[in-house]
Homo-oligomer: A and B are copies of this chain.
Amino acid sequence: MMRKLGVGLIGTGFMGKAHAMAWRSAASFSGEVQPVLISVADIDGVAAENAAAKYGFQRWTSKWQDLIDDPEIDVISITSPNRFHAEQSLAALAAGKHVHCEKPLAPNSDIAEQMYRAAEKAGVVTQVGFNYIKNPLLKHAQTLIAEGEIGEITGFRGIHAEDFMVSPQVPWSWRLDPTGGAGAVADLGSHILGIARFLLGPVTELFADLDTVVKQRPERAGSSVMKSVEVDDIARLTVRFARGCAGYIEANWVASGHKMQLGFEVTGTQGSLIFNQERFNELQLFRFDKNEASNGFRTIVAGPDHAPYGLFCPAPGHQIGFNDLKTIEILEFIESIQSGKAAGPDFKEAYEIQRLVDASLMSSRERTWVSL
Protein backbone atom coordinates (compact mmCIF):
# COMPACT_ATOMS: atom_id res chain seq x y z
CA MET A 1 0.00 0.00 0.00
CA MET A 2 1.55 3.25 -1.12
CA ARG A 3 1.42 6.14 1.35
CA LYS A 4 1.72 9.74 0.20
CA LEU A 5 4.02 12.22 1.92
CA GLY A 6 3.21 15.86 1.29
CA VAL A 7 6.26 18.04 0.86
CA GLY A 8 6.55 21.79 1.37
CA LEU A 9 9.74 23.58 0.38
CA ILE A 10 10.92 26.94 1.70
CA GLY A 11 13.43 28.70 -0.53
CA THR A 12 14.14 28.47 -4.26
CA GLY A 13 17.83 29.36 -4.47
CA PHE A 14 20.58 26.86 -5.20
CA MET A 15 19.76 24.61 -2.27
CA GLY A 16 16.03 25.00 -2.93
CA LYS A 17 16.56 23.63 -6.41
CA ALA A 18 18.76 20.84 -5.04
CA HIS A 19 16.06 19.86 -2.55
CA ALA A 20 13.29 19.97 -5.13
CA MET A 21 15.24 17.73 -7.48
CA ALA A 22 16.23 15.37 -4.68
CA TRP A 23 12.62 15.01 -3.55
CA ARG A 24 11.63 14.23 -7.12
CA SER A 25 14.41 11.72 -7.66
CA ALA A 26 13.56 10.14 -4.34
CA ALA A 27 10.03 9.62 -5.65
CA SER A 28 11.49 7.40 -8.37
CA PHE A 29 13.50 5.35 -5.90
CA SER A 30 11.42 5.13 -2.76
CA GLY A 31 9.16 2.32 -1.76
CA GLU A 32 5.85 2.46 0.10
CA VAL A 33 6.11 6.12 1.03
CA GLN A 34 5.77 8.29 -2.02
CA PRO A 35 6.67 11.98 -1.71
CA VAL A 36 4.34 14.43 -3.41
CA LEU A 37 5.46 17.99 -4.08
CA ILE A 38 2.63 20.11 -2.62
CA SER A 39 3.81 23.67 -2.32
CA VAL A 40 6.88 25.88 -2.55
CA ALA A 41 7.37 29.19 -0.71
CA ASP A 42 9.62 32.09 -1.54
CA ILE A 43 9.35 35.67 -0.33
CA ASP A 44 9.76 36.50 -4.01
CA GLY A 45 6.47 35.25 -5.39
CA VAL A 46 7.67 35.11 -8.98
CA ALA A 47 10.53 32.87 -7.98
CA ALA A 48 8.07 30.65 -6.14
CA GLU A 49 5.76 30.49 -9.14
CA ASN A 50 8.58 29.61 -11.51
CA ALA A 51 9.92 26.97 -9.17
CA ALA A 52 6.49 25.39 -8.88
CA ALA A 53 6.30 25.10 -12.66
CA LYS A 54 9.86 23.84 -13.14
CA TYR A 55 9.94 21.29 -10.35
CA GLY A 56 6.33 20.20 -10.38
CA PHE A 57 4.84 21.61 -7.15
CA GLN A 58 1.05 21.78 -7.11
CA ARG A 59 0.99 25.32 -5.73
CA TRP A 60 3.19 28.17 -4.53
CA THR A 61 3.16 31.00 -2.03
CA SER A 62 5.19 34.03 -1.00
CA LYS A 63 4.48 33.32 2.70
CA TRP A 64 6.27 30.36 4.25
CA GLN A 65 3.68 30.29 7.02
CA ASP A 66 1.22 29.01 4.43
CA LEU A 67 3.16 25.78 4.29
CA ILE A 68 2.98 25.41 8.04
CA ASP A 69 -0.76 25.79 7.90
CA ASP A 70 -1.23 23.47 4.93
CA PRO A 71 -2.80 20.20 6.12
CA GLU A 72 -1.64 18.36 3.00
CA ILE A 73 1.97 19.02 3.91
CA ASP A 74 3.63 16.45 6.17
CA VAL A 75 7.22 17.59 5.91
CA ILE A 76 8.92 20.96 5.57
CA SER A 77 12.22 21.29 3.73
CA ILE A 78 14.02 24.48 4.77
CA THR A 79 16.55 26.12 2.47
CA SER A 80 16.03 29.76 3.43
CA PRO A 81 18.88 32.02 4.60
CA ASN A 82 20.45 30.72 7.82
CA ARG A 83 18.93 33.37 10.06
CA PHE A 84 15.41 32.00 9.40
CA HIS A 85 16.23 28.35 10.17
CA ALA A 86 15.27 28.49 13.83
CA GLU A 87 11.98 30.38 13.46
CA GLN A 88 10.77 28.28 10.56
CA SER A 89 11.83 24.99 12.11
CA LEU A 90 10.18 25.79 15.40
CA ALA A 91 6.94 26.78 13.65
CA ALA A 92 6.94 23.57 11.61
CA LEU A 93 7.68 21.43 14.66
CA ALA A 94 4.89 23.17 16.59
CA ALA A 95 2.55 22.23 13.76
CA GLY A 96 3.64 18.58 14.09
CA LYS A 97 5.47 18.46 10.79
CA HIS A 98 8.69 16.59 10.07
CA VAL A 99 11.53 18.99 9.32
CA HIS A 100 14.49 18.74 6.98
CA CYS A 101 16.70 21.80 7.42
CA GLU A 102 19.85 22.87 5.67
CA LYS A 103 22.95 23.36 7.79
CA PRO A 104 23.80 25.30 9.86
CA LEU A 105 20.84 24.55 12.06
CA ALA A 106 21.54 27.52 14.34
CA PRO A 107 24.14 30.19 15.06
CA ASN A 108 25.00 28.62 18.42
CA SER A 109 24.31 25.58 20.53
CA ASP A 110 21.78 27.27 22.81
CA ILE A 111 19.40 27.84 19.95
CA ALA A 112 20.21 24.43 18.48
CA GLU A 113 19.31 22.93 21.83
CA GLN A 114 15.90 24.61 21.85
CA MET A 115 15.32 23.26 18.38
CA TYR A 116 16.23 19.66 19.08
CA ARG A 117 14.18 19.69 22.30
CA ALA A 118 11.19 21.06 20.37
CA ALA A 119 11.59 18.20 17.91
CA GLU A 120 11.75 15.64 20.69
CA LYS A 121 8.62 17.11 22.21
CA ALA A 122 6.80 17.12 18.87
CA GLY A 123 7.68 13.48 18.29
CA VAL A 124 8.52 14.07 14.66
CA VAL A 125 11.57 13.20 12.59
CA THR A 126 14.23 15.78 11.78
CA GLN A 127 17.26 15.84 9.53
CA VAL A 128 19.96 18.38 8.80
CA GLY A 129 21.56 18.64 5.36
CA PHE A 130 25.17 17.63 5.87
CA ASN A 131 25.24 16.26 2.28
CA TYR A 132 28.65 14.59 2.12
CA ILE A 133 28.01 12.23 5.01
CA LYS A 134 25.51 10.32 2.86
CA ASN A 135 28.25 8.92 0.65
CA PRO A 136 27.96 5.11 0.42
CA LEU A 137 31.73 4.82 0.87
CA LEU A 138 31.59 6.74 4.14
CA LYS A 139 29.02 4.25 5.33
CA HIS A 140 31.42 1.53 4.24
CA ALA A 141 34.25 3.21 6.16
CA GLN A 142 32.05 3.40 9.24
CA THR A 143 31.23 -0.29 8.94
CA LEU A 144 34.88 -1.28 8.48
CA ILE A 145 35.80 0.67 11.62
CA ALA A 146 32.88 -0.70 13.62
CA GLU A 147 33.71 -4.26 12.64
CA GLY A 148 37.31 -3.85 13.73
CA GLU A 149 38.75 -4.28 10.25
CA ILE A 150 41.49 -1.76 10.96
CA GLY A 151 41.87 -2.75 14.61
CA GLU A 152 41.72 -0.42 17.56
CA ILE A 153 41.63 3.17 16.36
CA THR A 154 44.81 5.10 17.18
CA GLY A 155 44.31 8.43 15.47
CA PHE A 156 42.30 10.68 13.19
CA ARG A 157 43.23 13.51 10.88
CA GLY A 158 40.40 15.37 9.18
CA ILE A 159 40.24 18.44 7.04
CA HIS A 160 37.71 20.46 5.15
CA ALA A 161 39.55 22.92 2.95
CA GLU A 162 38.36 25.06 0.07
CA ASP A 163 39.70 28.27 -1.40
CA PHE A 164 36.65 30.42 -2.14
CA MET A 165 37.61 33.02 0.50
CA VAL A 166 41.31 33.35 -0.25
CA SER A 167 41.07 36.43 -2.42
CA PRO A 168 41.05 39.62 -0.31
CA GLN A 169 38.60 40.95 -2.93
CA VAL A 170 35.91 38.57 -1.71
CA PRO A 171 33.69 41.03 0.13
CA TRP A 172 32.34 40.93 3.66
CA SER A 173 29.10 38.90 3.88
CA TRP A 174 26.82 36.99 6.20
CA ARG A 175 29.45 34.24 6.34
CA LEU A 176 31.70 36.68 8.19
CA ASP A 177 29.06 38.07 10.55
CA PRO A 178 30.12 36.98 14.05
CA THR A 179 26.52 37.17 15.26
CA GLY A 180 25.82 34.26 12.90
CA GLY A 181 28.50 32.17 14.63
CA ALA A 182 32.04 31.30 13.68
CA GLY A 183 33.75 31.37 10.27
CA ALA A 184 35.39 28.39 8.60
CA VAL A 185 35.01 26.20 11.67
CA ALA A 186 31.22 26.59 11.47
CA ASP A 187 30.77 26.63 7.71
CA LEU A 188 33.23 23.88 6.77
CA GLY A 189 34.36 22.52 10.11
CA SER A 190 30.86 21.32 10.90
CA HIS A 191 31.09 18.86 7.98
CA ILE A 192 34.35 17.28 9.08
CA LEU A 193 33.33 17.35 12.74
CA GLY A 194 30.14 15.55 11.76
CA ILE A 195 32.13 12.95 9.83
CA ALA A 196 34.54 12.50 12.75
CA ARG A 197 31.59 11.80 15.04
CA PHE A 198 29.96 9.56 12.43
CA LEU A 199 33.08 7.41 12.19
CA LEU A 200 34.52 7.52 15.70
CA GLY A 201 31.85 8.79 18.08
CA PRO A 202 31.83 11.66 20.57
CA VAL A 203 34.62 14.16 21.13
CA THR A 204 35.18 14.83 24.81
CA GLU A 205 37.84 17.50 24.77
CA LEU A 206 39.29 19.90 22.26
CA PHE A 207 41.91 22.55 21.87
CA ALA A 208 41.48 25.07 19.04
CA ASP A 209 43.53 27.76 17.40
CA LEU A 210 41.43 30.01 15.16
CA ASP A 211 43.25 32.17 12.68
CA THR A 212 42.01 35.12 10.63
CA VAL A 213 44.23 35.36 7.58
CA VAL A 214 42.45 38.07 5.60
CA LYS A 215 42.10 40.76 8.26
CA GLN A 216 39.73 43.05 6.37
CA ARG A 217 37.54 42.87 3.29
CA PRO A 218 35.56 45.30 1.12
CA GLU A 219 32.23 46.15 2.74
CA ARG A 220 30.62 44.96 -0.46
CA ALA A 221 31.85 43.81 -3.87
CA GLY A 222 34.03 46.46 -5.44
CA SER A 223 33.75 48.85 -2.51
CA SER A 224 36.85 50.63 -1.27
CA VAL A 225 35.43 50.82 2.25
CA MET A 226 37.04 48.04 4.25
CA LYS A 227 35.45 46.14 7.08
CA SER A 228 37.32 44.14 9.73
CA VAL A 229 36.97 40.38 9.70
CA GLU A 230 36.44 38.88 13.13
CA VAL A 231 35.77 35.24 12.33
CA ASP A 232 38.27 32.50 11.51
CA ASP A 233 39.59 31.69 8.03
CA ILE A 234 41.45 28.66 9.37
CA ALA A 235 40.62 26.62 12.46
CA ARG A 236 43.06 24.06 13.84
CA LEU A 237 41.63 21.66 16.41
CA THR A 238 43.30 19.02 18.51
CA VAL A 239 40.59 16.66 19.71
CA ARG A 240 40.17 13.73 22.06
CA PHE A 241 37.48 11.14 21.44
CA ALA A 242 35.48 9.34 24.10
CA ARG A 243 36.74 6.03 22.69
CA GLY A 244 40.27 6.96 23.81
CA CYS A 245 42.08 8.09 20.71
CA ALA A 246 42.97 11.62 19.69
CA GLY A 247 43.15 13.53 16.45
CA TYR A 248 43.48 16.73 14.49
CA ILE A 249 40.77 18.58 12.58
CA GLU A 250 41.19 21.58 10.32
CA ALA A 251 38.69 23.86 8.63
CA ASN A 252 40.14 26.21 6.06
CA TRP A 253 38.46 28.34 3.41
CA VAL A 254 41.64 30.01 2.15
CA ALA A 255 43.38 26.79 1.01
CA SER A 256 44.50 27.85 -2.47
CA GLY A 257 43.92 25.20 -5.10
CA HIS A 258 41.51 23.10 -3.08
CA LYS A 259 37.93 23.14 -4.25
CA MET A 260 36.43 20.41 -2.08
CA GLN A 261 39.12 18.80 0.07
CA LEU A 262 36.90 17.21 2.67
CA GLY A 263 39.10 14.36 3.71
CA PHE A 264 40.30 12.22 6.53
CA GLU A 265 42.69 9.52 7.54
CA VAL A 266 41.79 7.09 10.29
CA THR A 267 44.60 4.89 11.56
CA GLY A 268 44.16 1.76 13.60
CA THR A 269 46.38 -0.96 14.96
CA GLN A 270 45.48 -3.22 12.02
CA GLY A 271 45.10 -0.77 9.19
CA SER A 272 44.10 2.65 7.92
CA LEU A 273 41.47 4.40 5.84
CA ILE A 274 42.00 7.48 3.68
CA PHE A 275 39.27 9.50 2.00
CA ASN A 276 38.99 12.75 0.08
CA GLN A 277 35.72 14.22 -1.18
CA GLU A 278 37.51 15.44 -4.34
CA ARG A 279 37.49 11.77 -5.37
CA PHE A 280 34.49 10.71 -3.38
CA ASN A 281 33.82 7.54 -5.35
CA GLU A 282 37.07 6.13 -3.96
CA LEU A 283 38.16 4.98 -0.51
CA GLN A 284 41.72 3.93 0.34
CA LEU A 285 42.13 0.97 2.67
CA PHE A 286 45.27 -0.54 4.15
CA ARG A 287 45.25 -3.68 6.25
CA PHE A 288 48.23 -5.63 7.50
CA ASP A 289 48.51 -8.81 5.55
CA LYS A 290 50.54 -11.97 5.84
CA ASN A 291 52.08 -11.37 2.45
CA GLU A 292 53.81 -8.08 3.12
CA ALA A 293 55.66 -8.13 -0.20
CA SER A 294 52.37 -7.69 -2.04
CA ASN A 295 50.55 -5.46 0.39
CA GLY A 296 49.73 -1.77 0.20
CA PHE A 297 46.93 0.77 0.26
CA ARG A 298 44.15 -0.36 -2.02
CA THR A 299 41.70 1.89 -3.84
CA ILE A 300 38.13 0.76 -3.35
CA VAL A 301 35.91 2.05 -6.16
CA ALA A 302 32.26 2.74 -5.35
CA GLY A 303 29.80 0.24 -6.76
CA PRO A 304 26.65 -1.72 -6.06
CA ASP A 305 28.41 -3.43 -3.13
CA HIS A 306 28.12 -0.09 -1.37
CA ALA A 307 24.39 0.56 -0.87
CA PRO A 308 22.57 2.57 -2.07
CA TYR A 309 24.96 3.14 -5.01
CA GLY A 310 23.07 0.41 -6.88
CA LEU A 311 19.95 2.57 -7.01
CA PHE A 312 21.81 4.97 -9.26
CA CYS A 313 23.78 2.55 -11.41
CA PRO A 314 24.05 -1.24 -11.64
CA ALA A 315 27.77 -1.19 -12.49
CA PRO A 316 30.74 -0.13 -10.33
CA GLY A 317 33.09 2.67 -11.31
CA HIS A 318 30.45 4.75 -13.06
CA GLN A 319 30.33 7.26 -10.22
CA ILE A 320 27.58 9.04 -8.43
CA GLY A 321 27.61 12.84 -8.15
CA PHE A 322 27.04 15.52 -5.57
CA ASN A 323 23.31 15.72 -6.28
CA ASP A 324 22.96 11.98 -5.82
CA LEU A 325 24.25 12.43 -2.26
CA LYS A 326 21.36 14.84 -1.71
CA THR A 327 18.94 12.27 -3.11
CA ILE A 328 20.30 9.66 -0.70
CA GLU A 329 19.81 12.15 2.12
CA ILE A 330 16.16 12.62 1.21
CA LEU A 331 15.64 8.88 0.72
CA GLU A 332 16.99 8.19 4.18
CA PHE A 333 14.82 10.95 5.60
CA ILE A 334 11.76 9.32 4.04
CA GLU A 335 12.76 5.99 5.53
CA SER A 336 13.20 7.70 8.89
CA ILE A 337 9.71 9.08 8.70
CA GLN A 338 8.41 5.67 7.81
CA SER A 339 10.28 3.88 10.58
CA GLY A 340 10.18 6.67 13.14
CA LYS A 341 13.90 6.17 13.66
CA ALA A 342 16.14 9.04 12.60
CA ALA A 343 18.78 8.17 10.01
CA GLY A 344 20.60 11.31 11.06
CA PRO A 345 22.17 13.70 11.31
CA ASP A 346 19.05 14.95 13.09
CA PHE A 347 18.60 18.15 15.12
CA LYS A 348 20.17 16.48 18.15
CA GLU A 349 23.26 15.57 16.16
CA ALA A 350 23.45 19.07 14.67
CA TYR A 351 23.32 20.40 18.23
CA GLU A 352 26.25 18.16 19.21
CA ILE A 353 28.25 19.39 16.24
CA GLN A 354 27.37 22.98 17.10
CA ARG A 355 28.67 22.43 20.61
CA LEU A 356 32.05 21.51 19.14
CA VAL A 357 32.01 24.69 17.07
CA ASP A 358 31.14 26.76 20.14
CA ALA A 359 33.85 25.00 22.15
CA SER A 360 36.38 25.82 19.43
CA LEU A 361 35.59 29.52 19.73
CA MET A 362 35.96 29.37 23.48
CA SER A 363 39.15 27.29 23.40
CA SER A 364 40.85 29.61 20.95
CA ARG A 365 39.81 32.70 22.85
CA GLU A 366 40.95 31.31 26.19
CA ARG A 367 43.95 29.43 24.78
CA THR A 368 43.08 26.30 26.70
CA TRP A 369 41.55 22.84 26.37
CA VAL A 370 37.75 22.76 26.62
CA SER A 371 35.82 19.73 27.87
CA LEU A 372 32.49 18.79 26.42
Say how far A30's CB is from chain B's closest CB, in angstroms.
9
- Say if the beta carbon of A343 comes within 8 Å of chain B: no
> Using Cβ atoms and an 8 Å threshold, which residues of chain B touch A20?
28
Say how far A187's CB is from chain B's closest CB, in angstroms.
12
Once the chains bind, are A272 and B294 in contact (CB under 8 Å)? no
Q: Given A238-B238, A297-B299, A323-B313: A292 and B305 within 8 A (CB)? A: yes
Instruction: Give Cα distance in the complex from A168 to B152, angstroms.
Output: 12
Number of copies: 4
> Using Cβ atoms and an 8 Å threshold, which residues of chain B touch A318?
259-260, 321-322
Tell me whether chain A's interface is mostly helix, strand or loop, or mixed. Answer: mixed
- Say if the beta carbon of A56 comes within 8 Å of chain B: yes
Instruction: Give Cα distance in the complex from A54 to B233, angstroms.
Output: 45
Once the chains bind, are B236 and A316 in contact (CB under 8 Å)? no
Among A178-219, those with CB < 8 Å from B are 207, 209, 211, 213
Which of A67-75, A78-86, A112-120, A280-288 touches B? A280-288
Once the chains bind, are A269 and B166 in contact (CB under 8 Å)? yes
> Using Cβ atoms and an 8 Å threshold, which residues of chain B touch A154?
166, 213, 233-234, 254, 256
- Say if the beta carbon of A252 comes within 8 Å of chain B: yes
Besides A154-B166, A281-B319, 16 new A-B residue pairs in contact (Cβ under 8 A), listed by A number = A24-B24, A25-B25, A140-B293, A149-B294, A154-B254, A155-B252, A248-B250, A258-B317, A259-B316, A285-B294, A292-B303, A294-B300, A313-B323, A320-B321, A320-B322, A321-B323
What is the interface of chain A, defined by CB distance below 8 A to chain B?
Answer: 14, 17, 20-21, 24-25, 27-28, 54-56, 140, 144, 149-151, 154-155, 157, 159, 162, 164, 166-168, 207, 209, 211, 213, 233-234, 236, 238, 245-248, 250, 252, 254-261, 267-272, 277-281, 285-286, 288, 292-301, 303, 305-306, 312-324, 367-369
